[in-house]
Amino acid sequence: MFGTFGSFTYNVYRATADLSWELDVWGRLRRSMQAASGELGAREEDRRALQLSVIADVAAAYVDLRAADLNLAISRRTLDSRRQTLELARQRLERGLISELDVRQFEAEVATPAASVADFERQVAQQENALSVLVGHNPGVIVRGRPLTELVGRISVPAGIPSALLERRPDVRSAEATLRAATARVGVAEAGRLPTFLITGQYGTQSTEFSNWFGSGTNIWQAFAGVSIPLFTEGRPGGEQVNIARARAAQARSHYEQTVLVALREVEDALVGLRTAQDRTAAQERQVIALRRALQLADLRYQNGVSSYLDVLDAQRGLFAAELGLTQAQRDQLIAGVQLYQAAGAGWPGAED
């Protein structure tokens, strides 16, 4: 006997929520979160390291600008002084007290600071443009703050660097965070070799009529419990993943230790640089004081006819070079201070937070 079966269609409205819960028996999920937190911390310290580098570049550029300002002021002052000496020599020539050779020598000496004025004006303009770009502005004039000599007086030389300051260095903190993440990955790899316990469920509503979607008797639910046992991971035995994670952790540890050693060396180099720069500045200051007095005596002796113009020229040349040398020493001292600030992780020894 043969029968004929009919067919019919109907609509079903269904809404469900799926839930899955893994029992973190072996700590795999906890370790994964620790690893992700360490990697995030490392990236944050990398950002901070870049920020610190920009701060140091801006500070160094400003120091160079103030050094160029001071050199320009020295050159202008020297130029005015030599013009006055030249005028005095011309007056003495008119009275027949000196020869024309003396006047020509003084005229030649005026050219040196005049050329320096033009050179330092160029340096000031270029440093202003460079600093403007560093702070994100169009090239232009930079508002000045404290002069170079006052900035130098505010730099103190510390006896040493507390080890706590090294912990503030972004590269040390980044390497430490990377090590924590790599160590946590070892735990993740070890837990990945063990069975995973899962509980999954589904809950919702189903009805042939939309108006009765959440009505009585429309609830549906399912629950499952399972165990997942990994045999191979990406075609490799699970133990090899653990070995890879341990090797990466060892690499991260070596990188952290090397980073700490480099940090210690940079701090010691910056300390030595600051101390020697301060000693050099003090020596240059004594030389400038002595040469200023020597120039005064040479001028006085020349005006009284006791000494020749050569004594005055030598004193002027020596003082001009010494003053420029003092500016360079002060600039180097401030740059050493910036380097120590950067090496100490944006912290100054002995300064309160």
Contact 323, 120 (CB under 8 A): no
The pLDDT value recorded for residue 87 is: 84
* Pairwise CA distance, residues 224 & 207, whole Å: 23
pLDDT for residue 234 is more than 60? no
pLDDT for residue 90 is more than 90? no
Identify the weakest region by mean pLDDT among 95-109, 311-325, 330-344.
95-109
pLDDT for residue 352 is more than 50? no
- Give the percent of the chain with pLDDT over 90: 35
Smallest Cα–Cα separation from 250: which of 191, 201, 186? 186
Average of pLDDT values for 31-50? Answer: 90
Half-sphere exposure of 255 (CA within 13 A, CB side): 17
Note the Cα 287 to chain centre separation in Å. Answer: 35
* Pairwise CA distance, residues 194 & 230, whole Å: 7
Exposed e or buried b for every residue in 327-349, given b needs 16+ CB within 10 A?
bbbbbbbbbbbbbbbbbbbbbeb
In order of their start, the domains of the chain are 37-175+260-343 (1.20.1600.10)
- Categorize the per-residue pLDDT at 243 as very low, low, confident or very high, splitting at 50, 70 and 90: confident
Note the Cα 174 to chain centre separation in Å. Answer: 14
Residue 292's CB is within 10 A of a number of other CB atoms, namely 15
The pLDDT value recorded for residue 216 is: 67
The torsion of the CA quartet 342, 346, 351, 353, rounded to 10 degrees, works out to 180
The pLDDT value recorded for residue 193 is: 77
Strand pairing category for 219-228 and 232-233 = unpaired
Residue 133's CB is within 10 A of a number of other CB atoms, namely 12
- Categorize the per-residue pLDDT at 211 as very low, low, confident or very high, splitting at 50, 70 and 90: low
pTM (whole model) above 0.75: yes
Contact 118, 352 (CB under 8 A): no
Residue 107 CB-density burial (10 A; 0-12 exposed, 13-18 middle, 19+ buried): middle
Q: What is the per-residue pLDDT across 97-109, written as a single tens digit (0 to 9) for each?
A: 777 787 888 888 8
